[in-house]
Structure 1
Amino acid sequence: MMGHWMYGYGLGHGLWLVIVAAVVLYPTGRILSRMGFSPVWSILVFIPLFNLIGLWIVAFADWPANAGRQSLLNSDRNGISRS
């Protein structure tokens, strides 16, 4: 029979949960805020199926870097020089 040490969650489990949540949520929130989304949406990372839906939304959203690149392409087409 197993010992009593396996029952319940201790302080180590809670600490590990906080560390993993911080390691995942912080960079996800930073990426979303740079894209113009609220960092609160990073909570979807921990919800199954919603994390995949969120990933697809982010993959096909308009990114700020693409907007700058698109304006450069439009200026080239209109004959405006970048120099």
Structure 2
Amino acid sequence: MMGHEMFTGMGFVWMLVIGIILVAPTWRLCQRIGYAGPLGLLILVPIANIVLLYFIAFAPWKTKTEQNRE
């Protein structure tokens, strides 16, 4: 029974690692295309992650000149 608790703790660690691996690049991508970085957290939410990917793919990206005007 003691081994089970060890794997439960490791499961949390793996979820945290996978979350970081997914959120960090999505956060950075959102910032680079001119949207708020925290929008990248949606990658962790089921269904919202698919909507986020479609939004990134098809939404107009703000260029550097557009960002400088604001």
TM-score (norm. length: structure 2) = 0.70
Q: Which residue of 1 aligns with 2:19?
A: 21
Larger C-alpha radius of gyration, 1 or 2?
Answer: 1
Q: Which residue of 2 aligns with 1:47?
A: 45
Letter in 1 for 2:4: M
Task: Indicate whether 1:60 and 2:58 are aligned.
Answer: yes
- Structure 1 spans left out of the alignment, 5+ residues: 69-83
Counterpart CA distance in 2 for 1:15 and 1:55 is: 26
Higher helix share: 2
Which has the higher relative contact order, 1 or 2, with Cα contacts under 8 A spaced 6 or more apart? Answer: 2
Runs of 4+ aligned structure 1 residues displaced above 6 Å come to none
TM-score (norm. length: structure 1) = 0.61
Q: Which residue of 1 aligns with 2:68?
A: none
- Structure 2 spans left out of the alignment, 5+ residues: 66-70
